[in-house]
Amino acid sequence: MRMRRHRTLVRSVLTTALVASLTTAAVGTSAADPAPETGAAKSDNITHLASVPMVGPLAGSANTDIAFAGKKAYVGNYNGFQIYDIADPAKPTLISQVHCPGSQNDVSVYAGLLFLSTDSSRSDSSCQSVSQSPTIKESWEGIKIFDVKDPANPKYLAAVETKCGSHTHTLIPDKRGKSVYIYNSSYFPDTKFPDCQPPNDRIDILKVPLNDPTKAAVVASPILFPDGGFPGSETGTATSGCHDITAFPAKNIAAAACMGDGVLLDISKPEAPKILHKVQDAENFAFWHGATFNGDGTKVMFQDELGGGGGAMCNAEVGPNKGATAIFDIKKRKLVFQSYYKISRHQAENENCVSHNGSLIPVPGRDIVVQAWYQGGFSVWDFTDSKNPKEIGYFDRPPRNPAGFGGYWSVYYYNGFIYGTESVKAFDTFKIKDRRTDPAARVKLKELNVQTQPPFWG
């Protein structure tokens, strides 16, 4: 799927002039789709506000994850990242772009810093790097750090190399406010890769001093699977690392989606996480992909990315339990399975569709999420009753023509609106108007990294 390579810890600082050559400023650009809902099926409570097409060096690639700070949205892309002004969600404007190729460029923001995951083997840590075989020891993968205090002029500060690259990452702020920890997720080792050797049963933990991010470094690599983890099955992927981790710092817990295993972690000591409980689902789960807690950290949902995001998994043949989202209650610090949720609208055989990235809609006393399903669009659903999840809203474009990969990679709720990355088309904004979700508009956040969930109640 991805070519990988790593070497020892690398720090790379680019000059302002060099960064200026990488950054394409596009202040004021909007170019919203004049007919964003043409042909789309949707519920009456969803309004599509705007669709801003990809432009410049990021066009023709794939949009990935989203992070938020103030009235800005930071959108990852396989070719770099872009920053949007979302002060008016109906008219988002592109502020700047940074061309910095390296899949999949998972993105997060904290204290004026932007962190970017590189999970493809590159010739070096710069943004001018080219693809290079992971069998070459001098190749590079890891996490890049940018200063985005001036969104119109991002500055590349440093890079930290990690074993097996960085597919996704999760921020855990130091309780003293002086540093931020990064839990790095990567997988698929190979005996031919010098620095990414099997079994890769660990995660890397970085520590970033906020007063000097150039001193960021890997400070621990705890083993999560001393027993080897899930061995694999006819339908399920063997564990050789983690795909994604979601932290709930207020309760000192995290949920790790690790290929064949779902894991609940104690993160009270960020440099030494401890396993509280592990679960497997050999019958219905193919690939544990990501996790979302409810508002008080008493439940967690895990996604199954059956088919790797490129398969048509939303049809009668696959059924309602595979490629779905599994709901667990957390009881006595253990994961207790309750039910599966999957969209009921069958998609065409040429539409890639499977459970993917979503976020909580913070309604007090309710458990409601919005979740992406690639070409299945997105779904708003209620899991307050863990055993009986119910959809309350949706948006679904028709199949791509000509057929091909597409749809929503990430769909998140932030300060009253829904934002989505249509992976090969645009950055989209939506409004949901429904008595069941309206109370969430009163919750205002200063920033949101979905993999670092704040408590909303409890």
Assess whether pLDDT exceeds 60 at residue 104.
Answer: yes
- Does residue 225 lie within any of the structural domains? yes
pLDDT, mean of residues 336-343:
98
Q: Which tens digits make up the pLDDT trace of 312-333?
A: 999 999 999 999 999 999 999 9
Please identify which residue in the block is written with the tokens 């990488």: 22
pTM greater than 0.75 (yes/no): yes
pLDDT, mean of residues 236-245:
97
Omega of the bond leading into 104 within 30 degrees of 0 (cis): yes
Give the Cα separation of 122 and 188 in Å (integer).
Answer: 17
- Does residue 402 lie within any of the structural domains? yes
Q: What is the mean pLDDT of the chain?
A: 92
Where does 23-112 show beta strands of DSSP type E? 23-29, 41-42, 46-53, 63-69, 72-77, 80-85, 93-99, 104-110
pLDDT, mean of residues 372-386:
98
Q: Which residues, listed in sequence order, are joined to residue 171 by a DSSP beta bridge?
A: 182
- Does residue 458 lie within any of the structural domains? no
Range of the domain at 360: 16-448
Least confident of 6-10, 300-304, 336-340: 6-10
For strands 334-341 and 325-331, give the pairing: antiparallel
The CATH number of the domain holding residue 368 is 2.130.10.10
- Does residue 145 lie within any of the structural domains? yes
- Does residue 424 lie within any of the structural domains? yes
pLDDT for res 21: 32
Identity (one letter) of the amino acid at 330?
I
pLDDT for res 36: 57
Helix (H, G, I), strand (E, B) or coil at 215: helix
pLDDT for res 11: 31
- Does residue 2 lie within any of the structural domains? no
pLDDT for res 39: 86
Please identify which residue in the block is written with the tokens 């399903």: 373
pLDDT for res 17: 28
Q: Which of 192, 184, 182, 186 shows the shortest CA–CA distance to 241?
A: 186
> Using the 8-state DSSP alphabet, how is residue 148 labeled?
-
Assess whether pLDDT exceeds 60 at residue 8.
Answer: no
Q: Which two tokens stand for residue 66?
A: 């989203």
Q: From the centroid of its chain, how far is CA 202?
A: 20
pLDDT for res 37: 56
Assess whether pLDDT exceeds 80 at residue 148.
Answer: yes
Q: Which tens digits make up the pLDDT trace of 16-34?
A: 223 333 344 444 444 455 4
| Contact indicator for 115, 145 with CB cutoff of 8 Å | yes
- Does residue 236 lie within any of the structural domains? yes
How many domains would you assign to the chain?
A: 1
Q: Which tens digits make up the pLDDT trace of 246-272?
A: 999 999 999 999 999 999 999 999 999
pLDDT for res 457: 82
Helix (H, G, I), strand (E, B) or coil at 388: coil
CB-based burial of residue 331 (10 Å sphere; 0-12 exposed, 13-18 middle, 19+ buried)? Answer: exposed
Least confident of 26-40, 204-218, 336-350: 26-40
pLDDT for res 238: 97
Q: Which of 53, 60, 5, 62 shows the shortest CA–CA distance to 29?
A: 53
Q: Which residues of 299-323 are buried (b: 16+ CB within 10 A; e: fewer)?
A: bbbbbbbbbebebbbbeeebeebbb
Give the Cα separation of 440 and 446 in Å (integer).
Answer: 15
- Does residue 455 lie within any of the structural domains? no
